[in-house]
Structure 1
Amino acid sequence: MDTTALGTVFLSETVGTAMLILLGGGVVANVVLAKTKGFDGGWLLINVGWALAVFGGVTVSYASGAHLNPAVTIGLIAAGTEEFVPGVPVSVVSVAVYIGAQMIGAIIGAVLVFLAYKKHFDETADQGAKLGVFSTGPGIRSYGWNLVTEIIGTFVLVFAVVGFGRVGDPDLSTPAGMAALGAIPVAFIVLAIGASLGGPTGYAINPARDLGPRIAHAILPIRGKGTSDWSYSWVPVVGPLIGGALAGWSSTLLLPIML
């Protein structure tokens, strides 16, 4: 395995995921924290902000294929991907590098959001709003159905990633990941998921996106922050992993390769 390429992957995924969480968590902070310019901007602003956050993350992590999400990484494996980028074949080591970088990047991005909005965290009394900047939570807590929602939302994301990757590239010779779509198409996919499927759970659709910032919430010195809601934390991890794996596997049956 090319260690230089592996190092590039680690840096690319870390930077891209940090950008994703900085901009995605940032738009939530702008909407829900007290005395911000965007306070009470609503669900549409959050949806658009997260879509543009994905655009930014994909744009700066092209070198690794822009997975930015363990569910995408697992889904590509299930779809039969043999090499993520040139010099980085699918292996236990490369998967660990991708997912490790995604988690580190997510924590870094969440810390940057806290620093950018520190005074507004101080001014906000609502503990749920503070946690919502970092991680998702259900509108109606029902772990089984919340899990189903996350599985479906992530299935749509990963299925689209695999499908777009095959358009004009039937042998999947380009780097595997969201970069295969291009930043704009994947942003629209995420916007669609948020608008159509995001209501029940806040559409984590990404274990690193939820778990990394939740860890940051637990360790950061946020005034009056309350609990990190660990009892729910498994749902936005397990659901996306299942959805990603199902999407990758089913793509081999439902997305025929055109020769």
Structure 2
Amino acid sequence: MLVLLGCGVVANVALARSKGFNGGFLMVNFGWGLAVFVGVIVAYASGAHINPAVTLGLVASGATEFGNAALGTTVPVDVLTVLTYIGAQLPGAVLGAVVVWLAYKRHFDAEPEAASKLTVFSTGPAIRSYGWNLVTEIVGTFVLVFVVIGFGRNGDASGLAALGALPVALLVIGIGASLGGPTGYAINPARDLGPRIAHFILPIKGKGSSDWSYSWVPVAGPVIGGLLAGWASHWLLPILG
């Protein structure tokens, strides 16, 4: 659901024959925020782990269980649990991107620009500078995960579902509006890598390159940012709280 609605709003804005064409970056921000809202709602049983950066950040913060305590679906945090959660997030992102392509198939066929087709699936920098692009993704993801952990400290810290979906959705909109300009704000390794894989394997007419030379940035940046946020929460959240 996250990638289906998130990449879907980008398709609506980026593909020239779509009714939402040229809706603007703020429309994309709101669309991704609402995609997160829906993703958190439907993933309640797992604790709404829809982002590997959040999963890793919670581990770094010292979380001892994932899941939804109210439903009795919590599991202890260990290497197998983390790998299972992340292992489910990536193929889910690939599948969501494939469904977006099916929904907009005729529009992809009619779109003349390969870059517009790629932007539906994956992020890309406004100014390509791998080091600074990495910094942007680290900062954006740090904000996401740090605030998510802060939400959890004010309630049940077992996962995102315990927070309520709306605060997280508003957080994602805010990050996009404030920090999304340089890179398109992946802030989620699965969100970028999964759809990029879908772009690579799908028979999209005139699709061009999948830009693999940039693909490591929206994976490494969110992972680093998530881990830093988790570690920083040990020291900063008690002070700020």
Question: Match for 2:79 among 85, 89, 92?
Answer: 92
- Is 1:57 aligned with 2:39? yes
| Structural mapping, 1:98-109, within 5 Å | 98-109=85-96
**Corresponding residue of 2:70:** none
Matched, 1:68 2:50: yes
1:229 aligns to what SS in structure 2? coil
Aligned mates of 2:23, 2:16 — CA distance in 1: 12
Give the letter aligned to residue 49 of structure 1. Answer: G
- Residue 134 in structure 1 maps to residue 121 in structure 2: yes
CA contact (8 A) 1:64 1:175 kept: no
Which of 22, 33, 44 in structure 1 is aligned with 2:26? 44
TM-score normalized by the length of structure 1? 0.89
In the TM superposition, residue 183 of structure 1 has moved relative to its aligned partner by 0.6
How far apart, in 1, do the equivalents of 2:19 and 2:201 lie?
A: 27
Could you tell me whether the CA contact under 8 Å between 2:90 and 2:194 is conserved in 1?
Answer: yes
- Answer whether contact 1:154 1:244 (CA < 8 A) is retained: yes
The within-5 A match list for 1:20-39 is: 20-39=2-21
Deviation at 1:258, TM superposition (A): 11
Q: State the partner residue of 2:101.
A: 114
Q: Could you give the per-residue CA deviations for residues 3-45 of structure 1, whole angstroms, max 9, x where no partner exists?
A: xxxxxxxxxxxxxxxx000000000000010211101111111
What residue number does 1:240 align with? 222
Show the 5 A alignment for 1:162-181.
Answer: 162-167=149-154, 169=155, 173-176=156-159, 178-181=160-163
Give the alignment's TM-score, normalised by structure 2. Answer: 0.95
Check the 8 A contact 2:63/2:158 in 1, yes or no: no
Deviates more, 1:209-218 or 1:61-70: 61-70
Partner residue, 1:197: 179
Contact conserved, 2:90 with 2:190, CA < 8 A, in 1?
A: yes
| Map of 2:201 onto structure 1 | 219
Residue 27 of structure 1 aligns to a residue whose secondary structure is: helix
Distance 2:32 2:99 in 1: 16
Contact 1:206 1:236 in 2 (8 A): yes
> Which residue of 77, 82, 93 maps to 2:64?
82
The residue that corresponds to 1:143 in the other structure is: 130
Contact 1:165 1:181 in 2 (8 A): yes
Native 8 Å contact 2:144 2:172 kept in 1? yes
Residues 128-151 of structure 1, C-alpha deviations (whole Å, 9 max, x = no match): 110000000000000000000000
Q: Which of 122, 125, 130 in structure 1 is aligned with 2:112? A: 125
State yes or no: 1:210 paired with 2:197. Answer: no
The one-letter amino acid of 1:128's match is A
Indicate if the aligned counterparts of 1:34 and 1:121 stay in contact, CA closer than 8 A: no
Q: Considering only aligned residues, what root-mean-square deviation do their CA atoms show, in Å?
A: 1.4
Q: Pick closer, same or farther for the CA change 1:202–1:160 going to 2, 3 Å.
A: same
Alpha-carbon distance, 1:257 to partner: 8.8
Deviations 1:80-100 (A, max 9, x none): 001112541111111111001
Q: CA deviation at 1:175?
A: 2.4
Provide structure 2 residue ranges, at least 5 long, that are not aligned to the other structure. Answer: 68-72
